[in-house]
C-alpha cells in the first residue's frame, strides 16, 4: 500500500523544520504571525457581523460551526491519521448533555457547555483506550458503531432525553436557566468557538504533541521505536478532539432549542467534517478552515440557487475536487509554490493507477 | 501562512460589502404575494415533501387562475418560493430565517413534525406567520406559540379515530387490540391517543410494541405479538414500517381476526401499490377524503378539488398530503384577504379569527393554533384503493368487516 | 402451553433472523470484496443496491419478468456500470491516501442517490410478486417465508460460487494476488487497472443482485441507500474483510443478533445491540470472525 503523506508538509504550521537545530524554535515572526492573523480573522468576523441580515447571521453561524468541527476532527483524523468516523457521536453526546443539564438540572448554559466538553472528553478517553489499538478503517468502523450506538441509547431513554420525540431546552419561560442568545449572540458564540478551536489547532501544530501525532501518522511502529508513547498521544488527541466537538455540540443544542437524536447523531455530519478536512488539507492548521468555509458555502449557495438538484451538483463537485486535488487545497498550493508546478493534472498523473 | 492571509483579506473584503438591515416586502408594489416554503425535497422525507409541494402548487395555480389574491382593491399574484431543507430540522429553521431576510414573512409549513417544530420557533421569534400543513405532533402546540396555525387535526386523533370507527362500525366488534408504534414523537403521540381512546371505549390493549422509526423490519415486534392473539393490529407508523407490518405479518402467519389498521400509510398511493392485494381491508386514518364535507370559493367541494388535482397531475388521484397542503395555502390566502394587507401581524390576527368552511372541512383555530373543529376520517383499502368508510355521513362505502382478506 | 409458545417464538425469531442475515450477507459481500482487495471503503455501495432494485423493478413493470429471474440482466448491467466507474473514476485516485477514495465514493453516493430521486422520484416501491409474502408452515407454528428463503439461498449460493471463482479461476486468482501485493502481481503480468475494475464491477453486480432481492421482499426508495451501506459496514467487518465467507458469517451474526435482541429487549434497542456486537467484536478480534484480511488490522506495539 503506497502511503502518500498528507500530514507532514504542514503549510499552516510555522514551525516546519527548515534546518537542524531549529526544530522547535523557528524565528519569532514565524511564531507570532499566525496568531496575529487569527486575531485579525476574528475581528474581521465581528466586522462581517455588522453587515449581515439576522438570518444570514444564522447561516454564517452554521458555517462557523463547521469550521470548528473540521478543526476538531483534524486533530485526530488529520494529524494522527486516525479516521474517526464516529465524531458525530461526540457532537451529539455534547449536545444532549447540555440539553439534559439545562432541562432537568436547570444548569446555566455557561456551566453546561464546559461540563459537556469534559464529559465527552472523558468518554472518548475511555473508549479510545481499547479502540485506538485498531488500525485504519477498522478504527473508523468501530467509531461509527460507537456513534450509532450512542444514538440508539439516547433514543431509548425517553425519560431523560425525550427519545425520538426530541428534547426542548427551556429558553423563554421564567425558569429558563439561560435566555436564548438570539441570532446575534449565537454568531458571536460560534465565532469565538471557532477562534478558540483554531487556536488549539495552532498550539497542537507547533507543540511536541503535534510532532508525535504526525510521527504516528507516518509510521506508528517507527514512532513507538523513537520513544513516543503512542498510546498516550493518540488517546489524548482523541479526547481533546472529542471534548472540543462536544463543546460545539453543546452550543448547537442551545441554538436549536429542540434537538432530535436523528439529527444530532446524523452520520452525514461526520462525513461533512471529513470532506472539509480532506479537501482543505489534512494535518494543517488553515486547511480545515478553508475546506469548511468552501464546502459549507458551496452547499448553501447551491441549495439556494438549485433547490431541486443541489445535492446532485454537490456530489459532482466533490468528485471533481477529489480527483484534481487529492492532497487537499492547502497542501496542493504549498507544493505547487515550492515546486513551481501548478497544474492539477500533475496530481492525476501521480495518483492514478 | 499565505493562504491564511488571503482568507483574512477575503473576509475583510466581504465585510465591506453588503448592507445591514431587513429587507421589506415589496410585494404590494410589484403585484405579487410572495410566500416561502421550506420543504423536504431530498433526504429521508423527500417523498412526503414532494406530495406537500404538489398541494402548494395546486393552490398557487388555482388562486392565480382565478385572478389572484385581492388586497386593498388590488389583485396580487401568489408566488410560492421553495427551498429544500434536506429533511433536516435545523436547515428548515435556517431557511425560514433566510426567508425573513428577504422580506418573506408569510410561510407555508415544511413536511413533518420535527421540521415544523423547528420552524415554528423561528417564525415566532421573527414575527412571521406560518400555516402548518403536516406537523401534527401536539407538542408543537404546547409551547405558547401565537404565530403557527395548523389546518390538520392533531396527532392524538390519528389512531383514536380508527379506534372509534372500529367501535362504531365493526361487527362483530373486536375485543383486543395491539399497537405497533414507531418511536418518533408523532407516532408515539398518536399511539398514546389511540391507547387512551381504546381503554375509554372498553377495548383491551394486549400489547404495545415500539420499533425504530423508518425501519423495514418489524419482525421482532410481530413475533412477540403473535402469542397474544390480538383481534386487530394497529400500526402507528409511517409508510416503510406500515408496509412491513402487513407484509411481515403475512410471512409470519399472523392473521388477526379483524385485520390491520394503520395511521398514515394506507391513504398514500404507495401503500396499495407496494402491497398489492395484501393491502385490501386495511384501515387507515386520513385528514381528508373526497367525501369531506364543506365548500369554499376557491376550490369548491372536496370532489371539485379532486377534479382540479387530477387535471393538474395527469389523472392521479389526490390524497391527503396534497389536500392539507392546499388547505394551508388557502388559509394564508383567506387570511391575507380578510386582513386586506400582507403585514404579518394583521394576517396573523385575521387567521386567528377565521371561521370558514372549505373543501378540507372547517377552518377555525383554537388559541394555541390547532384546528380542533375538524374531524379525521377513516379509509379502508378496497380493491386496491382507499375509500372513506367513517364517519358514516361522509362515507363512500360500507366498511368490510372483518378486514382480513385471506 | 406457555412454554410451547415461547419455544415457538424463539424458533421463529431464530429462523427469521437467519434468513434476514442471509439478505444482509448478500448486501455486504460486494462491499467486503472491494474493501478487502482494494482497500476502498465504498460509501456508494448502498446506492448501487438501490439502483439494482430500481432496475429489477423497471424490468418487472416492462416485461413482467420475475425479479429473481431478472438477476442475470441486473448483474450484467451493474457489472458494466461498476467496471466503468472503477476504470475511469476510482482508478484515478487509487494511489492517493485511503481517505480520498472514501471521499470520492461519498461524492458518487450523492450523485447516484439524487440522480435516482430525479429519475424515479422518491416514491417507496416494492416489486410485486405472488410469493414474496407467502410462507410455508413448519411444525411448531413456525413459518418459513418464501421470498426471504429464495433471497437467503441466493446469498449462500452466490457466496459459495464467488469463493470458488476466487480460488479456482485465473480471474479470481488475479484479483486475490493483486489484493495481496499489487507490485508483485504487476510483475507477474497482471494488469492492475483491469483487475481492479473487474473487482469493482463484480462487487457492484453483487450489490445489484442484492437490490433485486431486497426490492422483492421489502420496500425501497433512494433514501434507503445509506442504511444498506451501514448494514454492509457492520456485516463485512464482523465477518472479516475480503473473504467471501466472511460477509456470510457477518450477515448471519448480525441477523441473529437483531432477532434475538429483539425478543429479549424493547424493539427500539435492536440496532443498539447490533452496534454493541460490532464494537465488541472489533475490540476483541479485529480481523473479524473469518480470520485474515489483506491489510493489517491492529497496531502491534
Whether the CB of B88 is below 8 Å from some CB of chain A: the reply is: yes
Contacts of C3 in chain B (CB under 8 A): none
Number of domains in chain A: 1
Whether residue A332 is contained in a domain is answered as: no
pLDDT of residue A9: 42
Contact (CB, 8 A) for B175 and B207: no
Give the pLDDT mean for C34-62: 92
- Positive/negative CA dihedral, B22, B25, B29, B31: positive
Cell of B84: 429544500
Which domains can be identified in chain B, with CATH numbers? 27-153+290-364 (3.40.50.2300), 156-286+377-394 (3.40.50.2300)
Q: Rg of the Cα trace of chain B?
A: 23
Percent pLDDT > 90 in chain B is 63
Q: How far is Cα of residue A20 from the mean position of the Cα atoms in its chain? A: 32
| pLDDT of res. B27 | 52
Q: Which residues of C touch B210 (CB under 8 A)?
A: 266-268
Q: Considering chain C, what is the average pLDDT of its residues? A: 86
Residue B285, pLDDT score: 94
Q: Categorize the per-residue pLDDT at B5 as very low, low, confident or very high, splitting at 50, 70 and 90.
A: very low
Inter-chain residue contact C128 with B210, CB threshold 8 Å: no
Selecting from C41, C95, C233 the residue whose C-beta is nearest the C-beta of A353 gives C95
Which of B14, B121, B139 is facing A257, going by the closest CB pair? B121
Could you tell me if residue A301 is inside a domain? Answer: no
DSSP category for residue C150: H
**C222 touching B (Cβ < 8 Å):** yes
Strand ranges (DSSP E) for chain C? Answer: 135-138, 142-145
Residue A120 lies in a domain: yes
Q: Are B404 and B259 in contact (CB under 8 A)?
A: yes
Helix, strand or coil, per DSSP, at residue A258: strand
Which of A164, A286, A311 is closest, CB to CB, to B42?
A311
- DSSP E strands in C129-179: the ranges are 135-138, 142-145
Closest-CA distance, C165 to chain A, in angstroms, reads: 25
Band (pLDDT 50/70/90 cuts) for residue A20 is: very low
Contacts of residue B250, defined as CB under 8 A and 6 or more positions apart, other chains included, come to B278, B406, C133, C134, C135
Q: In this complex, do A40 and B17 lie within 8 Å of one another by their Cβ atoms?
A: no
- What pLDDT was estimated at residue A353? 74
What mean pLDDT is predicted for residues B378-382?
94
Q: Which helix (H) or strand (E) holds C276?
A: helix C270-284
- The pLDDT tens digits for A287-303 are 999 999 999 999 889 98
Residue C57 scores a pLDDT above 90: yes
Between A274, A311, A322, which is nearest C104 by CB?
A: A322
Which region among A136-140, A179-183, A278-282 has the lowest average model confidence (pLDDT)?
Answer: A136-140
Contact state of A145 with C278 under an 8 Å Cβ cutoff:
yes
Within a domain: A299:
no
Q: Which residues contact B364 (CB under 8 A, 6 or more apart)?
A: B354, B355, B356, B371, B372, B373
Residue A296 lies in a domain: no
- The Cα B267–Cα B291 span in angstroms is 14
Strands (E), A105-241: 167-168
Cα radius of gyration (chain A):
20
Q: Testing the interface with B: which of C122, C134, C144, C256 to mutate, by most B Cβ within 10 A?
A: C122
Interface mutation vs chain C, best among B253, B254, B267, B273, most C CBs within 10 Å? B253
Per-residue pLDDT, A345? 75
Per-residue confidence band for A139, with pLDDT thresholds at 50, 70 and 90:
confident
Q: C114 contacts in B (CB within 8 Å)?
A: 42
Contact assignment for C95 to A350 by CB distance below 8 Å:
yes
Query: Which residues, 6 or more positions from B147, have their beta carbon under 8 angstroms from its beta carbon?
Result: B120, B123, B124, B127, B128, B129, B130, B344, B348
> Strands A258-259 and B32-39: what pairing?
unpaired
A191 located within any domain: yes
pLDDT at residue B138 in the model = 86
B21/A53 touch (CB, cutoff 8 Å), yes or no: yes
CA A53/CA A183 separation, integer angstroms: 10
Q: Among A185-189, B168-172, C276-280, which stretch is predicted with the lowest mean pLDDT?
A: C276-280
pLDDT score of A8 more than 70: no
Helix ranges (DSSP H) in B106-148: 113-126
Would you place residue C7 in the very low, low, confident or very high pLDDT band (cuts 50, 70, 90)? Answer: confident
Average pLDDT over residues C83-99: 87
Which residues make Cβ contacts (< 8 Å) with residue C48, sequence separation at least 6? C30, C78, C81, C82, C112, C204, C207, C208, C211
- DSSP state, C220? B
pLDDT of B192-246, one tens digit each? 999 999 999 999 999 999 988 888 889 989 998 988 899 999 999 988 899 999 9
* Mean predicted lDDT score pLDDT of chain B: 88
Q: Which residue has the higher pLDDT, B26 or A91?
A: A91
pLDDT score recorded for residue B24: 53
CA–CA separation, C97 vs A281, rounded Å?
Answer: 12
Decide if C95 and A221 are in contact by the 8 Å CB cutoff. Answer: no
Q: How confident is the model at residue B18 (pLDDT cuts 50, 70, 90)?
A: very low
> So what's the pLDDT on residue B259?
92
Distance of CA B121 to the CA centre of its chain: 18
For chain C, the structural domain boundaries read 19-122+145-284
Task: Give the CA-trace dihedral at A96, A98, A102, A104, to 10 degrees.
Answer: 40
Q: What is the pLDDT, as a whole number, of residue B109?
A: 95
Residues of C in contact with A312 (CB under 8 A): 110-111, 114-115, 118
pLDDT of C293 higher than 90: no
**C123: confidence class by pLDDT, cuts 50, 70, 90:** confident
In the A/B pair of chains, how many CB contacts fall below 8 A? 141
| SS3 of residue C265 by DSSP | coil
- Summarised one tens digit per residue, pLDDT across range A317-344 is 889 988 888 888 888 888 888 888 777 7
Q: Which chains touch C (3 or more CB pairs under 8 A)?
A: A, B
How far is the C-alpha of A96 from the C-alpha of A92, rounded, in Å?
A: 6
Would A316 be classed as within a structural domain? no
Instruction: Say how far apart CA C76 and CA A307 lie, in whole Å.
Output: 34
DSSP strand pairing (B32-39 vs B355-356): unpaired
Q: How far apart are CA B153 and CA B136, in angstroms?
A: 7
In whole angstroms, what is the distance from residue C208 CA to residue C270 CA?
27
Residues of chain B contacting residue A52, judged by C-beta atoms under 8 Å apart: 18, 20
Q: What is the pLDDT of residue B29?
A: 61
Per-residue pLDDT tens digits for B287-310: 999 989 999 999 999 999 999 999
Going by C-alpha positions, the residue among A62, A58, A82, A192 that lies closest to residue A134 is A82
> Which chain B residue shows the shortest CA-CA distance from A48?
B15
- Judged by CB atoms closer than 8 Å, whether chains meet at B46 and C117 is answered as yes
The average pLDDT across A39-61 equals 90
Which candidate in A260, A309, A313, A335 is best for mutational testing of the B interface (most B CBs within 10 A)? A260
Contact check, Cβ <8 Å, A54/B101: yes
- Does A290 sit within 8 Å of B2, measured CB to CB? no
Please provide the average confidence, as pLDDT, over all residues in chain A.
Answer: 86
Confidence at residue B287, expressed as pLDDT on a 0 to 100 scale: 93
Q: Which domain holds residue A239?
A: 28-265
pLDDT of residue A5: 41
Asked if A327 and A317 touch (Cβ cutoff 8 Å), the reply is: no
The lowest-confidence range among A107-121, A191-205, C131-145 is C131-145
Residues 6+ apart with CB under 8 A from C182: C192
User: For residue A30, what pLDDT is reported?
Assistant: 76
* Residue C289 binned pLDDT confidence (cut-offs 50, 70, 90): low
Tell me the β-bridge partners of B378.
B285, B390
Comparing CB atoms, the residue among A138, A152, A278 nearest residue C286 is A138
Please report the pLDDT score of residue A228 as a whole number: 87
- The set of cell numbers assigned to B153 is 387535526
What are the residues whose beta carbons fall under 8 Å from the beta carbon of B230, sequence distance 6 or more?
A: B176, B177, B178, B206, B207, B256
pLDDT of residue C181: 80
CA distance A33 to B297: 69
Distance from CA of C191 to the nearest CA of B (A): 40
Q: How many CA atoms lie within 13 A of B236 on its CB side?
A: 32
Where does the pLDDT of residue B142 fall: very low under 50, low under 70, confident under 90, or very high at 90 and above? Answer: confident
CB contact under 8 A, C141 and B247: no
Residues of B in contact with A41 (CB under 8 A): 4, 7-8, 11
Are C47 and C254 contacting, i.e. CB atoms less than 8 angstroms apart? no
Cross-chain residue pair A351–C96, CB shorter than 8 Å: yes
Asked if the model's pLDDT at residue C295 lies above 80, the reply is no
Of residues C2 and C79, the one with the higher pLDDT is: C79
pTM given for the model? 0.86
Inter-chain touch B183–A155, beta carbons under 8 Å: yes
Q: For chain C, say whether A311 makes contact (Cβ under 8 Å).
A: yes
Considering only CB atoms, C221 lies closest to which of B47, B253, B276, namely B47
Query: Nearest residue of C to residue A138 by CA position?
Result: C297
B210:C124 CB<8 A? no
The separation between the first and the last C-alpha atoms of chain B, rounded to the nearest angstrom, is: 74
pLDDT tier for residue B173 given thresholds of 50, 70 and 90: very high
Question: Binning pLDDT at 50, 70 and 90, where does residue A186 land?
Answer: very high
* Inside any domain, residue A345: no
Amino acid at each position: 500500500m503506497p502511503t502518500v503523506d498528507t500530514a507532514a508538509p504542514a503549510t499552516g504550521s510555522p514551525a516546519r523544520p527548515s534546518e537542524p537545530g531549529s526544530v522547535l524554535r523557528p524565528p519569532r515572526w514565524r511564531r507570532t504571525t499566525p496568531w496575529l492573523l487569527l486575531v485579525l480573522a476574528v475581528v474581521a468576523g465581528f466586522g462581517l457581523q455588522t453587515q449581515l441580515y439576522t438570518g444570514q447571521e444564522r447561516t454564517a453561524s452554521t458555517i462557523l460551526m463547521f469550521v470548528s468541527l473540521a478543526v476538531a476532527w483534524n486533530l485526530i483524523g488529520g494529524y494522527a491519521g486516525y479516521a474517526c468516523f464516529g465524531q458525530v457521536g461526540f457532537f451529539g453526546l455534547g449536545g444532549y448533555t447540555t440539553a439534559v443539564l439545562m432541562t432537568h438540572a436547570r444548569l446555566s448554559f455557561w456551566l453546561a457547555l464546559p461540563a459537556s466538553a469534559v464529559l465527552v472528553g472523558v468518554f472518548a478517553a475511555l473508549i479510545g483506550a481499547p479502540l485506538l489499538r485498531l488500525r485504519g478503517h477498522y478504527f473508523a468502523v468501530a467509531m461509527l458503531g460507537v456513534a450509532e450506538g450512542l444514538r440508539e441509547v439516547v433514543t431509548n431513554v425517553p425519560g431523560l432525553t425525550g427519545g425520538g420525540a426530541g428534547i426542548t431546552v427551556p429558553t423563554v419561560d421564567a425558569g429558563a436557566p439561560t435566555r436564548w442568545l438570539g441570532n446575534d449572540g449565537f454568531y458571536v458564540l460560534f465565532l469565538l468557538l471557532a477562534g478558540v478551536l483554531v487556536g488549539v489547532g495552532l498550539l497542537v501544530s507547533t507543540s511536541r504533541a503535534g510532532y508525535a501525532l504526525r510521527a504516528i501518522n507516518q509510521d506508528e511502529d517507527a514512532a513507538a521505536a523513537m520513544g513516543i508513547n503512542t498510546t498516550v498521544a493518540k488517546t489524548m488527541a482523541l479526547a481533546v478532539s472529542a471534548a472540543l466537538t462536544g463543546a460545539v455540540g453543546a452550543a448547537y443544542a442551545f441554538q436549536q432549542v429542540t434537538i432530535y437524536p436523528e439529527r444530532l447523531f446524523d452520520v452525514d455530519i461526520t462525513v461533512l467534517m471529513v470532506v472539509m478536512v480532506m479537501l482543505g488539507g489534512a494535518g494543517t492548521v488553515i486547511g480545515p478552515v478553508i475546506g469548511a468555509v468552501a464546502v459549507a458555502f458551496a452547499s448553501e449557495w447551491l441549495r439556494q440557487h438549485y433547490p431541486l438538484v443541489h445535492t446532485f451538483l454537490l456530489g459532482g463537485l466533490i468528485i471533481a475536487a477529489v480527483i484534481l486535488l487529492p492532497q487537499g487545497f492547502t497542501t496542493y498550493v504549498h507544493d505547487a509554490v515550492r515546486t513551481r508546478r501548478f497544474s492539477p493534472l500533475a496530481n492525476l498523473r501521480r495518483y492514478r493507477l | 501562512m499565505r493562504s491564511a492571509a488571503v482568507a483574512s483579506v477575503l473576509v475583510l473584503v466581504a465585510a465591506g460589502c453588503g448592507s445591514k438591515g431587513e429587507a421589506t416586502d415589496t410585494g404590494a408594489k410589484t403585484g405579487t404575494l410572495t410566500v416561502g416554503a421550506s420543504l423536504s425535497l431530498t433526504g429521508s422525507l423527500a417523498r412526503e415533501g414532494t406530495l406537500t409541494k404538489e398541494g402548494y402548487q395546486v393552490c398557487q395555480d388555482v388562486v392565480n387562475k382565478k385572478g389572484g389574491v385581492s388586497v386593498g382593491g388590488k389583485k396580487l399574484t401568489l408566488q410560492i418560493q421553495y427551498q429544500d431543507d434536506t429533511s433536516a430540522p435545523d436547515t428548515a429553521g435556517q431557511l425560514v430565517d433566510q426567508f425573513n431576510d428577504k422580506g418573506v414573512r408569510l410561510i407555508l409549513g415544511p413536511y413533518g413534525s420535527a421540521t415544523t417544530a423547528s420552524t415554528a420557533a423561528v417564525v415566532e421569534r421573527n414575527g412571521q406567520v406560518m400555516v402548518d400543513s403536516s406537523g401534527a405532533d401536539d407538542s408543537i402546540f404546547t409551547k405558547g406559540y401565537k404565530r403557527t396555525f395548523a389546518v390538520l387535526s392533531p396527532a392524538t386523533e390519528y389512531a383514536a379515530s380508527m379506534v372509534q370507527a372500529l367501535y362504531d362500525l365493526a361487527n362483530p366488534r373486536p375485543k383486543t387490540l395491539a399497537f405497533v408504534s414507531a418511536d418518533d414523537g408523532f407516532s408515539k403521540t398518536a399511539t398514546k391517543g389511540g391507547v387512551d381512546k381504546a381503554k375509554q371505549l372498553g377495548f383491551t390493549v394486549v400489547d404495545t410494541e415500539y420499533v425504530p422509526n423508518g425501519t423495514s423490519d418489524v419482525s421482532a415486534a410481530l413475533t412477540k405479538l403473535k402469542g397474544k392473539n390480538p383481534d386487530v393490529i394497529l400500526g402507528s407508523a409511517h409508510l416503510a414500517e406500515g408496509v412491513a407490518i402487513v407484509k411481515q405479518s403475512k410471512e409470519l402467519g399472523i392473521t388477526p381476526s379483524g385485520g390491520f389498521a394503520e395511521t398514515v400509510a394506507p391513504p398514500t398511493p404507495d401503500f396499495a401499490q407496494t402491497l398489492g392485494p395484501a393491502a385490501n381491508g386495511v384501515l387507515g386514518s386520513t385528514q381528508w377524503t373526497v367525501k369531506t364535507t364543506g365548500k369554499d370559493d376557491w376550490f369548491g367541494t372536496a370532489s371539485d378539488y379532486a377534479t382540479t388535482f387530477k387535471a393538474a397531475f395527469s389523472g392521479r388521484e389526490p390524497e391527503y398530503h396534497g389536500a392539507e397542503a392546499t388547505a394551508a395555502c388557502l388559509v394564508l390566502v383567506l387570511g391575507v384577504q380578510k386582513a386586506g394587507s400582507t403585514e404579518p401581524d394583521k394576517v396573523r390576527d385575521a387567521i386567528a379569527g377565521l371561521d370558514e368552511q372549505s373543501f378540507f372541512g372547517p377552518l377555525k383555530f383554537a388559541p394555541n393554533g390547532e384546528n380542533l373543529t375538524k374531524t379525521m376520517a377513516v379509509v379502508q383499502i378496497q380493491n386496491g384503493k382507499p375509500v372513506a368508510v367513517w364517519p358514516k355521513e361522509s362515507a363512500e362505502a360500507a366498511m368490510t368487516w372483518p378486514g382480513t382478506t385471506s | 402451553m406457555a412454554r410451547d409458545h415461547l419455544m415457538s417464538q424463539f424458533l421463529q425469531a431464530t429462523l427469521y433472523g437467519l434468513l434476514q442475515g442471509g439478505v444482509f450477507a448478500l448486501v455486504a459481500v460486494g462491499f467486503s470484496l472491494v474493501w478487502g482487495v482494494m482497500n476502498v471503503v465504498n460509501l456508494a455501495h448502498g446506492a448501487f443496491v438501490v439502483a439494482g432494485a430500481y432496475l429489477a423493478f423497471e424490468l418487472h413493470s416492462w416485461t413482467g419478468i420475475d425479479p429473481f429471474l431478472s438477476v442475470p440482466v441486473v448483474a450484467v448491467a451493474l457489472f458494466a456500470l461498476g467496471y466503468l466507474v472503477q476504470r475511469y473514476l476510482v482508478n484515478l485516485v487509487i494511489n492517493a491516501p485511503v481517505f480520498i477514495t472514501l471521499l470520492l465514493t461519498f461524492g458518487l453516493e450523492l450523485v447516484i442517490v439524487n440522480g435516482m430521486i430525479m429519475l424515479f422520484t422518491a416514491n417507496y416501491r416494492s416489486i410485486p410478486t405472488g410469493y414474496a409474502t407467502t410462507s410455508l408452515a413448519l411444525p411448531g407454528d413456525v413459518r418459513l417465508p418464501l421470498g426471504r428463503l429464495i433471497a437467503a439461498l441466493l446469498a449462500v449460493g452466490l457466496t459459495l460460487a464467488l469463493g470458488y471463482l476466487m480460488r479456482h479461476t485465473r480471474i479470481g486468482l488475479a484479483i486475490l494476488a493483486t489484493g495481496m501485493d499489487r507490485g508483485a502481481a504487476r510483475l507477474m503480468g497482471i494488469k492492475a487497472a483491469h483487475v481492479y475494475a473487474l473487482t469493482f464491477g463484480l462487487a457492484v453486480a453483487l450489490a445489484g443482485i442484492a437490490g433485486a432481492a431486497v426490492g422483492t421482499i421489502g420496500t425501497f426508495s433512494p433514501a434507503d441507500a445509506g442504511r444498506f451501506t451501514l448494514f454492509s459496514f457492520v456485516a463485512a467487518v464482523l465477518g472479516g474483510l475480503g473473504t467471501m465467507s466472511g460477509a456470510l458469517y457477518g450477515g448471519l451474526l448480525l441477523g441473529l443478533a437483531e432477532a434475538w435482541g429483539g425478543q429479549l429487549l424493547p424493539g427500539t434497542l435492536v440496532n443498539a445491540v447490533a452496534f454493541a456486537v460490532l464494537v465488541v467484536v472489533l475490540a476483541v478480534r479485529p480481523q473479524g470472525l473469518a480470520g485474515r484480511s489483506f491489510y493489517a488490522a491492529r497496531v502491534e506495539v
